[in-house]
């Protein structure tokens, strides 16, 4: 196995027993909005000034939200209040009315920027066919083949950092769909998510396996440790998932998003594991990807047919959202991959800061 120089934190077991280590660290601001939000939260100030700043900045501007570093970091922080929390920020800020109002002001144009998916399937079977078609679509750069055959160790480290903000909380946001479902679809989502959480075994939780991969690559595996490194193109996909997961009226989009994740994970995971073995890494580095080759081949059938298909049959109004969620997931994955690919093809790092 290659010898990598790693932070001292990355050399030991990933137990995450510290409350601070379980939270997102306070990042550096990327503009006036994220600076105002960070100051408001960390100094426990009234949120009215931040709400007014958002109204003045977002609504009239027509700016490109998906590529805007300041806005995407701001949205990430606002969502994190409902998830793991942020170091030094009181938990009661989760339900701060000014922060919620400001988030809603950002979400309206963000929702528009995520796009729509047409046409709406006319039946549950049409919905299932549409999801399979979405899973087979591949408009992005050939990332998985590149990682298998050509990528360097440093490029693997970058890719793993890009994915770390989501993978170190793997399954958590999709699990928010469980209390919003009932009957067969609920049982199916529980079955799939139980696998994601290792069937109750800490050492088999997929988030813990990802942390193991990070340590093998000499990376710090603390939750959101690399928030300052990842660009808006990565945060946009993270925020799309959080948006779907935290809104009950976006439940179909959340399920559609999960469908695409499960449909498009097995083959790339096989390629990533192959690439790591090519570079001399052992099973400690590849186990996360090896696990997804087998698990997601089973999960894709369950989520497409027994979850999304059953939901579409019981609730025809959910069909548009199911297809849209899958389309948005694919669109955001391509958006992030294109940034990484173009950076590497130009001989540059895809991260904002060096590792």
Q: State pLDDT tens for residues 20-75.
A: 679 999 999 999 999 999 999 999 899 999 999 999 987 666 678 999 999 999 99
Residues 161-174, mean pLDDT to the nearest whole number: 97
Residues 106-110, mean pLDDT to the nearest whole number: 96
pLDDT tier, 118 (very low <50, low <70, confident <90, very high otherwise):
confident
Which pTM was predicted? 0.94
pLDDT tier, 13 (very low <50, low <70, confident <90, very high otherwise):
very low
| Percent share of the chain, pLDDT over 90 | 86
Average pLDDT across the chain, whole number = 93
The whole-number pLDDT of residue 140 equals: 86
Query: Quick one: tokens of 319?
Result: 């069909």
Hey, where are the domains in the chain? 19-114, 124-345
The whole-number pLDDT of residue 19 equals: 67
Helix runs in the chain, H state only: 32-42, 48-57, 69-80, 97-114, 124-136, 143-149, 153-167, 172-175, 183-196, 206-216, 232-246, 251-263, 266-278, 283-301, 310-314, 319-345
pLDDT at 101 over 70: yes
Residue for token pair 């809603």: 104
For 47, other C-beta atoms within 10 Å of its C-beta total 21
Residue 354 Ramachandran class (φ > 0 left, ψ -120 to 50 alpha, else beta): beta
The whole-number pLDDT of residue 334 equals: 96
pLDDT at 7 over 60: no
pLDDT at 9 over 70: no
CATH fold for domain 124-345: Heme Oxygenase; Chain A (1.20.910)
pLDDT at 307 over 80: yes
pLDDT tier, 12 (very low <50, low <70, confident <90, very high otherwise):
very low
| Alpha-carbon gap, residue 185 to 175, rounded angstroms | 12
pLDDT at 229 over 70: yes
The whole-number pLDDT of residue 60 equals: 63
Alpha carbon distances (Å) from 134 to 271, 298, 322, 326: 20, 18, 11, 7
CB within 8 A of 159, min separation 6: which ones? Answer: 143, 147, 151, 340
Under 8 Å between Cβ of 183 and 32: no
For 353, other C-beta atoms within 10 Å of its C-beta total 11
pLDDT at 16 over 70: no
Residues 187-201, mean pLDDT to the nearest whole number: 96
pLDDT at 15 over 60: no
pLDDT tier, 192 (very low <50, low <70, confident <90, very high otherwise):
very high
pLDDT tier, 8 (very low <50, low <70, confident <90, very high otherwise):
very low
| Alpha-carbon gap, residue 301 to 299, rounded angstroms | 5
- Higher-confidence residue of 312 and 62: namely 312
The whole-number pLDDT of residue 11 equals: 40
pLDDT at 240 over 60: yes
């Amino acid at each position: 196995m290659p010898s990598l120089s790693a932070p001292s934190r990355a050399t030991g077991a990933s137990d995450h027993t510290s409350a601070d280590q379980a939270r997102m660290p306070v990042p550096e601001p990327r503009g006036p909005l994220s600076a105002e939000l960070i100051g408001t939260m960390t100094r426990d100030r009234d949120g009215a000034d931040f709400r007014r700043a958002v109204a003045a900045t977002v609504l009239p501007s027509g700016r490109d939200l998906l590529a805007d570093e300041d806005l995407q970091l701001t949205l990430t922080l606002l969502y994190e209040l409902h998830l793991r929390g942020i170091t030094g920020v009181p938990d009661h800020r989760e339900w701060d009315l000014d922060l919620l109002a400001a988030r809603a002001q950002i979400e309206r144009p963000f929702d528009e920027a995520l796009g729509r998916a047409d046409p709406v399937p006319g039946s549950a079977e049409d919905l299932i066919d549409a999801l399979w078609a979405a899973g087979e679509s591949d408009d992005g750069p050939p990332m998985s083949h590149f990682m298998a055959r050509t990528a360097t160790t440093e490029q693997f480290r970058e890719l793993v950092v890009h994915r770390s903000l989501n993978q170190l909380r793997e399954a958590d946001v999709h699990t928010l769909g469980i209390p919003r479902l009932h009957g067969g679809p609920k049982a199916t989502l529980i079955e799939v998510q139980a696998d994601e959480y290792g069937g109750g075994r800490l050492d088999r939780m997929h988030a813990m396996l990802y942390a193991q991969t990070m340590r093998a690559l000499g990376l710090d595996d603390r939750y959101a440790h690399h928030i300052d490194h990842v660009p808006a193109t990565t945060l946009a996909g993270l925020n799309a998932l959080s948006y779907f997961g935290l809104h009950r009226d976006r439940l179909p989009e959340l399920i559609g998003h999960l469908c695409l994740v499960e449909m498009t994970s097995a083959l790339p995971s096989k390629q990533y594991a192959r690439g790591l073995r090519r570079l001399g890494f052992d099973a400690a580095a590849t186990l996360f990807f090896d696990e997804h080759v087998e698990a997601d081949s089973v999960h894709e059938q369950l989520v497409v047919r027994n979850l999304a298909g059953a939901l579409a049959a019981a609730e025809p109004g959910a069909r548009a959202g199911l297809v849209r969620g899958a389309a948005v997931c694919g669109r955001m994955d391509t958006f992030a991959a294109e940034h990484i690919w173009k950076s590497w093809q130009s001989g540059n790092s895809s991260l904002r800061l060096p590792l």
